[in-house]
Amino acid sequence: MAHPSQLGFQDAASPVMEELLHFHDHALMIVFLISTFVLYVIVVMVSTELTNKFILDSQEVEIVWTVLPAVILILIAMPSLRILYLMDEVNDPHLTVKAVGHQWYWSYEYTDYNELCFDSYMVPTQDLAPGQFRLLETDHRVVLPVESPLRILVSAEDVLHSWAIPSLGVKMDAVPGRLNQTTLMAAHSGVFYGQCSEICGANHSFMPVVVEAVPLKHFEDWSLLLSSTY
């Protein structure tokens, strides 16, 4: 969960988000080095005779400023492609959950449990309990087992939505008439908050996502209790 005056990302709660944070730091360092070098060249050109005709006509300089950007792009592209393939890979998931966006709430179906489905609405401000977060808390949380590879199927019933949880590194568009899939695995127990990340209408900011990762035994107890309730 983010905290006041935070400048960086939320703490990673999944292996994918850890990879994304490492890639962000990697790319940011490259950008910092490029910016420093360009600033240095500008200062030198302004303050010295660096801009004489021998430098401007140098074949070696032209080779360097052609090859170096290509090398930098490769250094950025290779880890980026690796993470993209990692995020799209869904290998033998232990559980499948279908999230369907509506105006303006989410509904969930645990496809491995025939009768386990529910709607998830935002808790109004006046109904919040102490310690709950305004505009982020829901009446029904998505309970998932911890340290288990999961498949999330995402769709929408009316307009475009987007199911996103920053700390888990998940953001998948919900498109009407189309079923998108993504994968996630919570590395530890906890409650993780997200929101619809697509401008889907007047109440766009009032359809949060709350995922609660619990040990497998607790998840099984919860699923049995919810199945009996519905």
pLDDT at 205: 87
What is the C-alpha to C-alpha distance for residues 115 and 109, in angstroms, rounded to an integer? Answer: 8
Q: Which residue has the tokens 């080779």?
A: 63
pLDDT at 113: 77
Q: pLDDT-derived band of residue 51, with 50, 70 and 90 as boundaries?
A: low
Q: Is 170 exposed, middle or buried (0-12, 13-18, 19+ CB in 10 A)?
A: buried
- pLDDT (tens digit per residue) in 5-19: 777 788 888 989 999
Please name the amino acid found at residue 150: L
Would you identify the CATH topology of the domain 95-229? Immunoglobulin-like (2.60.40)
| CA separation, residue 27 to residues 11, 22, 74, 100 (Å) | 18, 9, 11, 34
More confident residue, 7 or 214: 214
